[in-house]
Amino acid sequence: MTERPIRLFHISDIHFGLEDARAIRWAQDAVADERPDAVIITGDLTMRARSREFTAACHWIQALDVPVSVEVGNHDIPYFNLYERFFAPYRRFRAIEHLVEAEIDLPGLAIVPLKTTTRAQWQRFPWSNGWVTAAALQQTLTAIDALPAGTRALVACHHPLPERREKDGKLLTINGDHAMAALAGRNVLAVLSGHIHDPFDLTAQTEQGPLRMIGAGTLSRRIRSTPPSFNELVVIGDTVRVTARNLEQVHTADMQIPALPENALPPREPGEPVAPVAHVPAVDPPVH
């Protein structure tokens, strides 16, 4: 085990097609200037999984000159082209195929992907929420169990894993609780996710012990209650320090929401979790 701090940038929900041009340039410059040990992108690269959005996303990601792992978000699966959705869902990722769901091995630490995006969910509609299939979970657990003894893991996925919303038990991620318990029983420092467009740093209690959940905000104009941001993670031994970096100099504690909402829509019901900075837009920007 090394004592050298490992610095990671955890970026999510860039949503090319509705990206924040200033925010993505700022994040790209930060990667070039500071050269983190790796960049982890937890999904929703695009807004509508259109070819021109993927071209822009792949171009941006390929310019990052450090190790990168990319998870797939629900917005990255072609929605209108059902043939592609079912038979070649990742075709448009071709230029960065080698980075998709890629494990990154750092000294004493591994970034291990977990797929939470599915092509179809027969149980319900819409398909935007998470689903940890038995096969996807097994793949992640096998990868963790194959790590050299003492290696710590950060698990990267798109959807936060809690199965049900705290306030009313609404279904969020199918099979999430089982997955969380399985990860808590292993040497997992935290689960990194995106999808809800506000940062958070929460600890869930599972049957197998506590599990830390770290969420990154968005670099898009589709903000929920915080300005565009990404997370800087510094890992020293078993400690993970999180900073929710943003262009507005908002302190991390004021960027983080206290509970998980259902999705990335701006809060529309009383009681929806809002970060202390409360940058809540009245409406979502239109998508063309």
Contacts with Fe ion by CB under 5 A lie at 13, 44, 73-74, 195, 264
Nearer to Fe ion, 74 or 246 (CB): 74
CB nearer to Fe ion: give 24 or 144. 24
Output the smallest distance, CB 64 to Fe ion, in A.
Answer: 19
* Residue number closest to Fe ion, CB atom: 44
Residue 20 or 44 having the CB closest to Fe ion = 44
Query: β-strands 6-11, 38-41: how paired?
Result: parallel
CB of 86 to Fe ion, least distance (A): 19
Angle 254-201-130 from CA coordinates, rounded to 5°:
120
Q: Which is nearer to Fe ion, 114 or 184 (CB)?
A: 114
If the CB atoms of residues 6 and 72 are measured against Fe ion, the closer one turns out to be 72
243 three-class SS? strand
What b/e sequence results for 31-48 when a residue is b if at least 16 CB atoms lie within 10 Å of its CB, and e otherwise? beeeebbbbbbbbbbbbb
Give 103 or 284: the residue with its C-beta nearer to Fe ion.
284
In the bound complex, what is the minimum distance in angstroms from residue 39's beta carbon to Fe ion? Answer: 17
Residues in the chain, total: 288
Secondary structure E strands in 163-222? 173-174, 188-193, 200-206, 209-215
Question: Would you say 44 or 201 has its CB closer to Fe ion?
Answer: 44
Gap between the Cα atoms of 64 and 92, Å rounded: 19
Torsion of CA 127, 128, 131, 137, to 10 degrees: 120
Residue 75 beta carbon to Fe ion: minimum distance, rounded to whole angstroms: 6
Cα–Cα distance for residue pair 270/104, rounded to 1 Å: 41
How near is the Cβ of 42 to Fe ion at its closest, in Å?
Answer: 9
Minimum separation from the CB atom of position 103 to Fe ion (A): 22
User: Can you list the positions of beta strands (E) in 89-199?
Assistant: 104-106, 109-113, 130-131, 152-156, 173-174, 188-193
- Provide the minimum distance between the beta carbon of 264 and Fe ion in the complex, in angstroms, as a whole number: 5
